[in-house]
Chain A
């Protein structure tokens, strides 16, 4: 069965280039591309692609797109992309890759092989709870008391949060928490 491939990419030039590379490949059926991520979630539900080849700058949280669909996410990069961003993807296609390498990369990601641990960059419930308190200006000790855990545990949650988000400072994590709707203005000091 052909793999249904959805390209999500704003540049027409890149889309056409990819189409010409994929043209005539019996392996893939190239779906009508999306040029933005605006209606991506609806599109995924409607078109149920097997592989999404996507410009990683379009989506802030690609793992969310997966939902419970067995979907392979492939990042399409043209320039430097933060390593942590790429960890949310099953594979990476660089536009400077040769035709053979691009086809090989796409062939290797088949939905059956998607590793469930790839979504481990999502914050756990506990980590989210720590983050929210942190954003409210609480100290490690106060957080430990509120969540009924040891200070040591709070620190280890904080390490994980920083590792996952790439954000170290409390001020930066506060912005992160707001952008992800984990806190609203009323809970800020």
Chain B
């Protein structure tokens, strides 16, 4: 933990320096309501101007950047978490509306080059996966997020309990890794074109992103909600 303290980002740094060092954080900004064009302002200044809690912003950036960093319950409870549910919802939209269709376009182009039935099986593998992801997100948006919103306003919402979440929370990256193996290792050489390389990068990036998303739900959202449930009931 001490080790991490010295590596974690601080609010006084320039946001541009953070992005230069870790360009993948760029994809987080719109999901966190921060638009580009922040110039040379510090993280704290940009967050304030965008109406984003600096502590929350740093928590998410740190989780995305440092693989072994698990924020303590104290750190979670000491941070303004009102932005969490909106952030998770926007992430869902980002995956479903942007990343998955983008990947699908590449896969469609690849499928064109595979012989008829193989192309169909290949593409339907992805379509099934997409459905599973959408169902996963729909469940969270329907059952879990409203529960958290209610608790945050001090309501005693007993229709759902976060205890169930971890038992049923499924892995949504697994099939993406299968897809990566198929695309990377087993496509016939005649489809070795730009689409393959592009989609390999896209899948890798989405897989990493989804792993962090799951991590945030399980290691940040769940402890937070457990605490809220206790606090509101007592």
Contact = CB atoms under 8 A, between A and B. Distances in A.
Interface of A: 36-38, 57-61, 80, 82, 84-85, 165-169, 171-172, 174-176, 178-180, 184-185, 188
B177 interface: yes
Given A58-B192, A169-B174, A85 B184 contact: yes
Given A60-B188, A165-B185, A176-B186, 19 more contacts: A36-B189, A57-B184, A58-B189, A58-B192, A60-B189, A166-B177, A166-B178, A166-B181, A168-B175, A169-B174, A171-B175, A172-B125, A172-B178, A175-B118, A175-B121, A175-B186, A179-B118, A179-B122, A179-B188
14 contacts: A60-B188, A84-B185, A85-B184, A85-B185, A166-B181, A169-B174, A169-B178, A171-B129, A172-B178, A172-B179, A175-B118, A179-B182, A179-B186, A188-B117
Contacts of B199: none
A20 B188 CA distance: 31
Contacts of A85: 184-185
B197 A57 contact: yes
Contacts of A37: 189, 192
B181 A82 contact: yes
B186 A60 contact: yes
A184 B128 CA distance: 20
B232 to A, nearest CB: 39
A175 B122 contact: yes
A82 B180 CA distance: 9
Contact of B125 (A38, A60, A82, A175): A175
Nearest to A81: B184
Interface of B: 114, 117-118, 121-122, 125, 128-129, 174-175, 177-182, 184-189, 192, 196-197, 204
Contacts of B187: 60, 179
Given A166-B181, A168-B178, A57 B186 contact: no
Interface residue SS majority, chain B:
helix
A79 to B, nearest CB: 9
A80 B181 CA distance: 13
A167 B181 contact: yes
Contacts of A36: 189, 192
Nearest to A186: B117
B111 to A, nearest CB: 11
B117 A166 contact: no
A174 B182 CA distance: 10
Contact of A168 (B114, B177, B189): B177
A120 B122 CA distance: 26
A35 to B, nearest CB: 12
Contact of A167 (B128, B182, B188, B204): B182
Ranked 9 nearest A-B pairs via Cβ: A172-B178, A166-B181, A185-B117, A167-B178, A179-B186, A37-B189, A178-B118, A175-B125, A60-B186
Most chain B beta carbons < 10 A, residue from A165, A167, A185: A167
A169 B117 CA distance: 19
Contact of A38 (B117, B175, B189, B197): B189
Contacts of B121: 174-175, 178, 188
Given A174-B121, A175-B121, A169 B180 contact: no
A36 B188 CA distance: 13
B185 A168 contact: no
A61 B125 CA distance: 22
Nearest to A60: B186
A167 B178 CA distance: 5
Contacts of B186: 60-61, 165, 175-176, 179-180
